[in-house]
Amino acid sequence: MALQAGIVGLPNVGKSTLFNALSNAKAQAANFPFCTIEPNVGVITVPDSRLIELERLVKPQKVVPTTVEIVDIAGLVKGASKGEGLGNQFLGNIRNTDAIIHVLRCFDDDNVIHVDGKVDPVSDKEIIDIELQLKDLEGVDRKISKIEKQSKTGDKDAVRAYEVLTALKAHLEAGKNARGFDISPEEKEKFLKDLALLTIKPVIYVCNVDEASVVKGNKHTEAVKNAIKDENAEILLVSAAIESEIAVMESFEDRQLFLEDLGLSESGVARLIRSTYHLLHLITYFTAGVQEVKAWTITKGMLAPQAAGVIHSDFEKGFIRAEVIRYADFVKYGSEAACRDNGKLAVQGKDYLVEDGDIMHFRFNV
């Protein structure tokens, strides 16, 4: 399954405008082909020059670039964690995504109603964050009550799990997102993974601004910047209104002229796609056979079985081992066989941390 980024935000902040700009981005089609597969799900192709090199070496029948799915997640409102406004359904949609694009209204326009009657992106962000934190707290509480007894028996793992989870509970209750929770990658994998936390997912904040503020920002974007300074998150200034104008332009030249007039070198959609891929710690590995050379998107930090699961869940369930060639070695020696002969094909197990550019061959058993 392709990785998904979900667009979230309060109603009327410009999520669908942005989504439509992405899905209609004709002028960008050459760089970022996009098609809508469901009314609220679109697929973007991620360009990668390494695919061209692999095609030259392997001469496959087919080359398939990797894609990222973008989902327009509507309907998050205050009380969503309690099921308000179909809240639970939408929170479930977020759970299925790998990353979050959080759109914040940073434009003033009296014609566009704000759900709370005023433009205040920092408070908007808090409303969404709190709903997600409350949902995470439900899961954390459930797990704490499960392991509490066990931890009292002195079981070392249970004692540590209890410590970690009570600290996380306090962290969430203080209105902080789990992504800022201080924990080692090993313990994160061990104690938090099964919770499928919402606020631990990587996030980009997209400030939806008016035309005049798209380069330098405005008082709203400054406030957002200040509010997220400890979050180690990326912020992007985009005008959804401009993007929807650009999206319908047929020619590349028209688009560039339009952008230059506004003092921009690149559309917000292009920046968003690039940022989504890189800032959300997505990396690419390849499978390279004569039938097909294919790029796959995973999250940095994924181990070999999880990476295999992106191809098919059976690959993860029945994972035995992975044969791995570094991209640079593949290019240097020119083929899998030559890499094998030169000791550049490594056999890796379940604990292998997949790296960007790895050429993978999975062995599995179902």
C-alpha separations of 25 from 2, 35, 130, 212 in Å: 20, 9, 33, 22
Identify whether the C-beta of residue 126 lies closer than 8 Å to the C-beta of residue 199: no
Residue 44 and residue 68 in contact, taking contact as beta carbons nearer than 8 Å: yes
- The least distance separating ligand GDP from the CB of residue 30, rounded to whole angstroms, comes to 25
**Pick from ligand GDP, Mg ion, none: which does 307 bind, CB < 5 to 8 A by kind?**
none
> Is residue 112 a contact point for ligand GDP (CB under 6 A)?
yes
| Residue nearest to Mg ion according to CB distances in the complex | 16
120 binds, among Mg ion, ligand GDP, none (CB under 5 to 8 A by kind): none
Query: Cβ closer to ligand GDP: 214 or 360?
Result: 214
Binding-site residue total for Mg ion (CB under 5 A)? Answer: 3
Rounded to an integer, what distance in angstroms lies between the CA atom of residue 207 and that of residue 64?
33
Cβ proximity to Mg ion, 74 vs 324, nearer residue: 74
Alpha-carbon distance 128 to 120, whole Å? 13
Interface pick for ligand GDP out of 23, 28, 221, 239 (rule CB under 6 A): 239
Kindly identify the residues of this chain, within the stretch 5-24, that bind Mg ion according to CB under 5 A: 15-16
Interface residue with ligand GDP, options 107, 285, 286, 319 (CB under 6 A):
107
Inter-CA distances, 232 with 245, 277, 278, Å? 32, 16, 14
The pattern of x and - marking residues 169 through 208 that bind ligand GDP according to CB under 6 A reads ---------------------------------------x
Q: Is residue 11 a contact residue for ligand GDP (CB under 6 A)?
A: yes
Binding to Mg ion by residue 74, rule CB under 5 A?
Answer: yes
Q: Please count the helices (runs of H) and the strands (runs of E) in the chain.
A: 14, 13
| Only segment of 36-44, 46-54, 234-242, 326-334 that touches ligand GDP (CB under 6 A) | 234-242
- Is residue 41 within 8 A of residue 70, CB to CB? The reply is yes
Q: How far apart are CA 272 and CA 134, in angstroms?
A: 28
Which lies closer to ligand GDP via its Cβ, residue 14 or residue 202? Answer: 14
**Residue 235 vs 360, nearer CB to ligand GDP:** 235
The reply on whether position 12 binds ligand GDP by CB under 6 A is yes
| Shortest Cβ 44–ligand GDP spacing (Å) | 18
Q: Is 4 helix (H, G, I), strand (E, B) or coil?
A: strand
Q: Does 106 bind ligand GDP (CB under 6 A)?
A: no
Q: What is the DSSP string of 314-360?
A: HHHHTEEEEEEE-HHHHHHH-SHHHHHHTT--EEE-TT-B--TT-EE
- Mark the segment that binds ligand GDP (CB under 6 A) among 106-114, 121-129, 315-323, 333-341: 106-114
Query: Among residues 4, 6, 15, 143, which is the contact residue for ligand GDP, using CB under 6 A?
Result: 15
Task: Out of 2, 16, 231, 321, point to the residue binding ligand GDP (CB under 6 A).
Answer: 16
Angle at CA 208, nearest 5°, toward 204 and 214?
105
By a kind-dependent CB cut-off of 5 to 8 A, residue 97 interacts, out of Mg ion, ligand GDP, none, with: none
**Tokens 């560039």 — which residue?**
256
3-class state of residue 205 by DSSP: strand
Provide CB contacts within 8 A for 145, sequence distance 6+: none
Q: Where are the beta strands (DSSP E) in the chain?
A: 3-8, 34-38, 41-46, 62-64, 66-72, 99-105, 203-208, 234-238, 282-288, 292-299, 319-325, 346-348, 359-364
Amino acid in the structure at residue 191: F
Number of residues that bind ligand GDP (CB under 6 A): 16
Q: Under the rule (CB under 5 A), what is the footprint of Mg ion?
A: 15-16, 74
Residues that bind ligand GDP (CB under 6 A): 9, 11-17, 107, 109, 112, 208, 210, 239-241
